[in-house]
Amino acid sequence: MCGIAGILSSDIDLRGKKSTIESISDTLKMRGPDAKGEYITPRCALIHRRLSVIDVENGAQPMRFGKYIIVYNGELYNTQEVKNELISFGYEFATSCDTEVVLKAYHKWKEESVKRLNGIFAYAIYDEKENSIFIARDRIGVKPLFYTQSKGLFAFASRIKSLLCIDSVKPIVDENGLNEIFMLGPAKTIGNAVFKDIKELAPACCLTYKNGKMSIASYWSLVAEECNETADEAIEHTKTLVTDSITRQLVSDVPLATFLSGGLDSSIISKVSSDCCRDNGDVLNTYSVDYTDNDIYFKKSLFQPNKDSDYIDLISSAIGSNHHNVVLDNAEVADALVEAANARGLPGFADIDSSLLLFCKEVKKGFTVCLSGECADEIFGGYPWYFRNEILFEDCFPWSRSTAVRQSILKTDLLPHGEEYARQAYLDTIKNVSCLDSDTKRDRRMREMFVLNLNWFMQTLLTRKDAMSMESSLEVRVPFCDYRLVEYAYNLPWDIKAFGGREKGILRKAFENDLPSEIAWRKKSPYPKTHNPAYLKRVCELCNAALNDKSTPLYDWINIDEIKRLAQNPESLTEPWYGQLMRAPQILAYIFQIYVWIKKYKVEFVL
């Protein structure tokens, strides 16, 4: 994985902008600490920072072939197939890295080449003769890409922070941006980067910029199709697809490990990975995360019915992995909220972000690549809202069913159109969901729920995973995000997907003979968060200091009495801010992250 950026300018000689280019490169250093490269002409600057994973010796970027120069961030999982096809057309290869394959695929098939790629990526290919650029992002949106356009200038980067190094790009946030932060956050609308001058290239989209004109096109979308498989056929098909996705993602020229929580998804990945390691005479290393004294303070809930620690030893012993348990200090998790907000470029998932950041830093001490189980819940129906009709058929985001708790922490009339903004975001998501004429009311709603989760909840988790892992210079791969698996799961009938009436039932059934039964049929439990009051205590201190700082507008925006009430009575919160992971402590942490973001990015507000 890497960090990429670039600038095209029609009226500024970019050779005279070395300090800006250097500043942009510096913002990408943690994404690519192993090497740096630049391509600079009067009208184009391409910037690359490399985290070396495949063909460490020969994969330097920017990479050239003829008139094309590429900067690439990602991993292809069908490199050899595409490479073999290109070889059949007479292409030769000097490296074993996927960058060269992407570049020569573009040379052969131009814009259509992206449809042949299976992987996680964001890349840009510059045409020297045409002075144009082609940019593409992977189908699911695992790898980030942001851009900005103004008169005479176009720029792109892996990070929001990188674009803010450009003089003409200002850290301005308007009412729509604040609605994203307070009414939808930590999620955000696809394509929206909160800052007024910056946009996000949406997943499964490609962008072309030439002669001051920009065009964006989608190259992939979910399409409803009939599934005529029996339950047994679907179970076998699911197992084949999942196993193939995992094994494809085990390719690495540097040390590789897996995250192992003791839940179904990470256990499947670790089991398949361990088998592959054993076949090669190796032992898989697995990692889990916990918090100081968390067992003492753990409380069962609908969303978190049991502790991961009860299951991790069981699955690690079953697959024969060399397991490492990382225990985080609660106060340090709170203090890391600062670095986490800076890494994301926006207020984030509170301690769900900061704990992952600290965890990744520990894993990085021994490994450069990890596999993780994100996104199985979104595509295989793992959340309670798929099974509770009173939530499933409620016409709203299931993880944030109203804006009441959000509005309660704000001063009256700060965001008068906030509820309508959130409502419109929901309606825009479901309006073009692909369905079949034969779909029942429940079938249609399940498709809507699939797309809602894919475009919102899953995007939030993927943004978190990329930002926190890359800030630690750790590449994390997500096998359940293979687009073939997503397409297949979208068209699975619900009674097969929820085999046995269970969340992720088909996934459980597919791998029940490969895992201990206690793991295969364990009730879903989310990413582990701290239950220790030491975390809440530290967060309250940080939040209180932030709200007493009159140098930011937060002092005038926030209902201090409501924040105090939440701090004193965290159990009084009747609905979560954002799904099962954000309760009162996380709301306070989120407010603190907004404060950090405003200060760190020198955010200006135009309301």
- Residues 474-497: b if buried by 16+ CB within 10 A, e if exposed: bbbbbbbbbbebbbbbbbbeeebb
Residue/partner pairs of 265-269 with CB below 8 Å, 24 or more apart: 265/373, 265/374, 265/376, 265/377, 265/480, 265/504, 265/507, 266/372, 266/373, 267/315, 267/319, 267/515, 267/519, 268/242, 268/373, 268/507, 268/511, 268/514, 268/515, 269/371, 269/372, 269/373, 269/479
- Measure the CA–CA gap between 299 and 335, rounded to whole angstroms: 24
3-state secondary structure of 51: coil
Q: Which of 509, 507, 463, 502 is nearest to 489 (CA)?
A: 507
Angle between helices 351-364 and 458-471 (to 10 degrees): 40
Residue 540 a catalytic site member: no
- Measure the CA–CA gap between 555 and 565, rounded to whole angstroms: 17
CA distances from 482 to 120, 476, 516 (A): 9, 14, 25
> Considering 2, 165, 370, 375, which one is annotated as catalytic?
2
- Residues 534-573: b if buried by 16+ CB within 10 A, e if exposed: bbbebbbebbbebbeeeebebeebbeeebbebbbeebeeb
Tokens 């993602």 sit on residue: 249
Degrees, nearest 5: CA angle 32-105-154? 55
- Measure the CA–CA gap between 475 and 251, rounded to whole angstroms: 12
CA distances from 164 to 24, 184, 345, 407, 464 (A): 9, 23, 10, 30, 20
Annotated catalytic residues are 2
